[in-house]
């Protein structure tokens, strides 16, 4: 399998305005509403889509039932979500979110590694 880049990160927060103010003040990031309520895209600085990592600020969720997601949630760009999910399971991981289509974005799944870390895998639509 070729090396695959981290393409997206998400920050989960209970208090979205407070989190937004923090990241605006500390890093100068810009936020814009996108998609469902309580979801913001983050511009981290570079406008070059191949040089930037796209970010999101969203309401805190539980990818692992009973455990609020704390820390940055990373998503790796892949060519085939099913193949990567299969490799994760074969390597001792578990599936937290079965492959799901996000219209006009791509196909997403979340897996947990044998150490308990969660990672997203996404096949992005090439609509740009």
Query: Which residues are CB-neighbours of 105 under 8 A, at least 6 positions away?
Result: 122, 124, 125
Domain count, the chain: 1
pLDDT digits (tens, 9 = 90+) for 17-54: 999 998 888 678 889 998 888 889 988 776 665 566 78
pLDDT digits (tens, 9 = 90+) for 53-108: 788 898 888 888 898 888 788 888 889 999 999 999 999 889 999 999 999 999 99
Domain range holding 24?
A: 6-124
The answer to whether residue 1 sits within a structural domain is no
* Per-residue confidence (pLDDT) for residue 46, from 0 to 100: 64
DSSP string for 84-121: HHHHHHHTT-EEEEEEEEETTTEEEEEEE-TTS-EEEE
Residue of 111 and 51 predicted with greater confidence:
111
* Per-residue confidence (pLDDT) for residue 25, from 0 to 100: 81
* Per-residue confidence (pLDDT) for residue 48, from 0 to 100: 63
The answer to whether residue 11 sits within a structural domain is yes
For residue 1, pLDDT over 70 is answered with: no
Give the tokens for residue 121. Answer: 């895998």
pTM of the predicted protein model: 0.68
Q: What is the CATH number of the domain that holds 104?
A: 3.10.180.10
For residue 116, pLDDT over 70 is answered with: yes
For residue 2, pLDDT over 70 is answered with: no
Residue of 1 and 18 predicted with greater confidence:
18
């Amino acid at each position: 399998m070729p090396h695959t880049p981290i393409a997206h990160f998400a920050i989960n927060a209970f208090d979205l305005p407070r989190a937004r103010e923090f990241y605006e003040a500390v890093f100068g990031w810009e936020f814009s509403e996108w998609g469902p309520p309580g979801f913001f895209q983050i511009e981290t600085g570079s406008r070059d889509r191949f040089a930037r990592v796209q970010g999101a600020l969203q309401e805190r969720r539980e990818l692992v039932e009973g455990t609020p997601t704390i820390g940055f949630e990373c998503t790796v760009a892949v060519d085939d979500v099913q193949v990567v999910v299969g490799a994760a399971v074969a390597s001792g991981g578990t599936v937290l979110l079965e492959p799901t289509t996000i219209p006009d974005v791509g196909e997403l799944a979340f897996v947990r590694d044998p150490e308990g870390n969660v990672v997203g895998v996404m096949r992005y639509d090439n609509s740009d």
